[in-house]
Amino acid sequence: MEDLVNMYQEVLNFDNKNKDLRVYVFSNKDDLIKKYVENNLMSMKIDEPITGEKYDIKFKKYLEEVKLLCNTFSNTEIIIIGVYGLYVDSIDINSNDVRLYHLHEIELLSDDIREYYTN
- Separation between Cα atoms, residue 44 and residue 23, nearest integer Å: 23
Instruction: Return the pLDDT at 13.
Output: 58
Measured in degrees and rounded to the nearest 5, phi and psi for residue 58 equal -65, -45
Instruction: Return the pLDDT at 90.
Output: 81
**CA max distance for the chain:** 43
Q: Which residues, 6 or more positions from 31, have their beta carbon under 8 angstroms from its beta carbon? A: 79
pLDDT digit string (tens) for the chain, length 119 residues: 677 667 666 666 555 557 889 999 999 999 998 888 787 777 777 776 777 767 677 778 878 888 888 888 999 999 999 999 888 888 888 888 999 999 999 999 999 999 988 87
Pairing of strands 20-26, 97-102: unpaired
Instruction: Return the pLDDT at 35.
Output: 87
Instruction: Return the pLDDT at 37.
Output: 79
